[in-house]
Amino acid sequence: MSRLVLRAASFSSSHSTASTASYSLSRLSCSRRPLAATASSLPRAQPSTRSYSFFSSKKSAIDTKSLQQTKSATTGNTTSATAAATPAFDNANMTQPKSEEEWRAVLNPEQFRILRQKGTEMAYTGEYTKNKDQGVYRCAGCQTPLYTSSTKFDACGWCSFYDAVPGAVGRHPDPDGRRVEIVCNACGGHLGHVFKGEGYGNPTDERHCVNSISLKFQPGDV
């Protein structure tokens, strides 16, 4: 009889424990649903666009400023090319044209690189950059007189002239439109570039920036 009582008590206890556990799980499940519902019902935070807008506006301002500067520089160069006495270069007007093979035969490799391939010598290394002697600067390729010592001045790491021998130097914009190239009108040899409005106070307000290796100096009165 006692065994029956103990087994009944054990059964009752197990049943009670299972009921309690089931009840607890049920309460836990019920308590999670409102939380999930509450979370899903909350409005979602929208990502802030303030930072993006700030940098976007900054980039826009920088791009606009850069565009304006480039446009101003290009306009200035184009204006100087049109207004200056130096004529625009035209291949058809060359008086001393040569083939590439002929130029290689008469020029050394560095002269060919600069005169025919539009290279640039390193700043402050040119033979005539600091030359103060009187004389005439001729094209190193065809010997045509291009500049005189009377228009030479100190400005940078290359030879600087504010004017050329009339009709001797032609000019045209670089392919990117940002600078104006100057060449020997007789043979098309690359000399350098011309810049305007830099404030050097010379009569033309221009600076012909010329590679020494493109020139051959002939001393003498001018």
Cite the active site residues.
Answer: 209
Closest CA relative to residue 139, chosen from 93, 96, 85, 195: 96
155 contacts: CB under 8 Å, gap ≥ 6: 198, 200, 207, 209
Q: How far apart, in whole angstroms, are the C-alpha atoms of residue 76 and residue 68?
A: 12
Q: How far apart, in whole angstroms, are the C-alpha atoms of residue 120 and residue 191?
A: 9
Q: How far apart, in whole angstroms, are the C-alpha atoms of residue 193 and residue 197?
A: 14
Look up residue 35 and give its amino acid. Answer: L
Strands (E), the chain: 135-139, 145-148, 159-161, 169-173, 180-184, 190-196, 206-210, 215-219
- The length of the chain in residues reads 222
Per the CB < 8 A criterion, the answer to whether 115 and 186 are in contact is: no
DSSP 115: I
Residue listed under structure tokens 């009339």: 166
